[in-house]
């Protein structure tokens, strides 16, 4: 069973948990033929999604945590059976492409609103490498959800097939970080203005004296709109449009192919006299820092960097200035919009565009913000 997909293993883990009320790390590792570290990561991901409560040595069902101190290797025993879940007409289906990057804060916002308004959240994970958005929409509907919050794996502008599945599912839905290609499509969404985020980053670098700003992108749904914002900023601020732009393939971090992509970008910046760059995403900016150090260079002295996403940017060896989308607030607002529909609250359909922030840290060469 060691070669099963992560989502398959986690689904089996949850079934075992619901059947027994508590699970042990050591027993699960032996059963699935994986390391205890792998099981602990599974439990942490599921805990971040609100599917269980971690305890020392294992996990128990959510909200069944005992008040007694943890023991070394034994999960706390579950108390009396928990209350029945909310009625099916208050269950929100949540479709997201990742439970570990970008979307955990979105999920936290959704869960907070759902808890406050007496609703339940059921998650459906799709996958960037193996998209299955339509299937997950169908499965969420089969599970009895009353409405859907959807952040799909495809591009920022929703593919017609996925949009048709949402139209045909017979339930209200709200898109998150996605919008239809047709501006007249009658649907609700909440998005971050990633064009504005890229513009803010380039404008800040321009204020620091850079007249050329390079752009490093990886293949994500956000990449196309980040590039549009960079292009608009270069034109509006009178920057040199010949600065390097790389649309990199998504590769395994630390791979030789990834290193070649980073080195090619650095070489292009050096050859053109470019000393500043916007990098999407945090992971790539951190890898670029390491490649710079390997070549005897530093940031911001040799190349000022601004990352895009602000997931782990503050943890880099040189803390990265970063564009920070309002992820938690986005999840909160999307959940409010969907619940308003379910509760028949009178309000006009909404299309909300939220502005990201630029968090100043050391990597751009400006004075770091306090707090």
Q: How confident is the model at residue 4, as a pLDDT?
A: 59
Please give the residue that has the higher pLDDT: either 351 or 32. 351
CATH number at residue 48: 1.10.10.10
pLDDT tens, residue by residue, 80-97? 333 333 444 689 999 998
Assigned domain for 369 exists: no
Radius of gyration of the chain (CA): 22
pLDDT of 130 above 90: no
Cα 299 to Cα 178, 291, 361, distances in angstroms: 33, 11, 11
Residue 73: predicted pLDDT:
39
Same domain, 314 and 340: no
For residue 364, the 8-state DSSP code is: G
Domain CATH for 282: 3.40.50.2300
Domain stop point among 83, 98, 126: 83
pLDDT exceeds 80 at position 208? yes
Confidence of residue 329 (pLDDT cuts 50, 70, 90): very high
- Domain that includes residue 33, residue range: 1-83
Mean of all residue pLDDT scores within the chain? 86
Same structural domain, 185 and 332: yes
Q: Is residue 111 part of a domain?
A: yes
Counted residue by residue, the chain has a size of 371
Q: Give the Å distances, CA to CA, from 48 to 43, 54, 304.
A: 9, 10, 33
- Whether residue 243 lies inside any domain: the answer is yes
Enter the tokens of residue 231: 């292009």
For the chain, the farthest-separated pair of C-alpha atoms sits apart, in whole angstroms, at 68
Q: Are residues 33 and 156 in the same domain?
A: no
Phi, psi of 196 (to 5 degrees): -60, -40
Give domain status of residue 11, yes or no. yes
Domain count along the chain: 3
Please check the confidence at residue 15 and state whether its pLDDT lies above 90.
no
Domain co-membership, 215 together with 279: yes
Report the pLDDT averaged over residues 290-305.
96
- 44 and 3 together in one domain: yes
- Does 188 share its domain with 198? no
Specify which residues 53 forms β-bridges with.
Answer: 60
95 with 58, same domain: the answer is no
- 138 occurs within a structural domain: yes
Band (pLDDT 50/70/90 cuts) for residue 62 is low
Same domain for 120 and 130?
yes
For the ranges 42-51, 243-252, 309-318, 343-352, the one whose mean pLDDT is highest = 309-318
Identify the pLDDT of residue 67: 35
- Residue 370 domain-assigned (yes or no): no
Q: Which of 44-53, 184-193, 212-221, 316-325 has the lowest mean pLDDT?
A: 44-53
Whether 284 is in a domain gets the answer: yes
Final residue before a domain boundary, out of 61, 83, 105: 83
Provide the whole-model pTM: 0.75
For residue 180, tell me if it sits in a domain. yes
- Which residue did the predictor score with more confidence, 314 or 125? 314
């Amino acid at each position: 069973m060691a070669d099963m997909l992560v989502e398959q293993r986690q689904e089996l883990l949850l079934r075992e948990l619901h059947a027994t009320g508590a699970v042990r790390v050591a027993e699960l590792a032996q059963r699935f033929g994986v390391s205890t570290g792998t099981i602990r990561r599974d439990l942490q991901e599921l805990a971040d999604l609100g599917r269980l409560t971690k305890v020392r040595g294992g996990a128990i069902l959510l909200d069944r945590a005992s008040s007694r101190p943890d023991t070394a290797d034994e999960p706390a025993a579950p108390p009396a059976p928990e209350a029945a879940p909310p009625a099916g007409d208050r269950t929100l289906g949540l479709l997201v492409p990742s439970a570990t990057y970008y979307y955990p804060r979105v999920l936290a916002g959704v869960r907070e609103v759902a808890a406050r308004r007496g609703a339940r959240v059921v998650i459906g994970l799709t996958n960037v490498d193996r998209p299955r958005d339509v299937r997950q929409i169908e499965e969420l509907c089969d599970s009895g959800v009353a409405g859907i919050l959807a952040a799909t794996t495809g591009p920022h502008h929703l593919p017609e097939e996925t949009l048709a599945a949402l139209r045909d599912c017979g339930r209200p839905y709200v898109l998150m970080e996605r919008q239809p290609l047709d501006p007249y499509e009658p649907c609700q969404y909440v998005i971050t203005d990633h064009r504005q985020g890229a513009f803010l980053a380039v404008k800040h670098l321009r204020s620091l004296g850079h007249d050329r700003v390079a752009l490093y992108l990886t293949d994500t749904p956000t990449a196309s709109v980040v590039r549009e914002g960079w292009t608009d900023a270069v034109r509006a601020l009178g920057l040199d449009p010949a600065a390097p732009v790389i649309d990199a393939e998504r590769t395994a971090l630390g791979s030789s192919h990834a290193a070649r992509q980073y080195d090619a970008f650095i070489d292009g910046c050096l050859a053109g006299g470019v000393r500043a760059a916007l990098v999407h995403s945090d992971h790539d900016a951190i890898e670029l820092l390491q490649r710079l150090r390997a070549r005897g260079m530093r940031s911001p002295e040799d190349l000022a960097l601004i990352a895009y996403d602000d997931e782990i940017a503050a943890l880099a060896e040189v803390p990265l200035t970063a564009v920070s989308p309002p992820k938690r607030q986005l999840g909160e607002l999307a959940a409010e919009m969907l619940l308003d529909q379910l509760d028949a609250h009178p309000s006009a359909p909404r299309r909300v565009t939220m502005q990201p922030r630029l968090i100043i840290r050391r990597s751009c060469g400006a004075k770091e913000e306090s707090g």
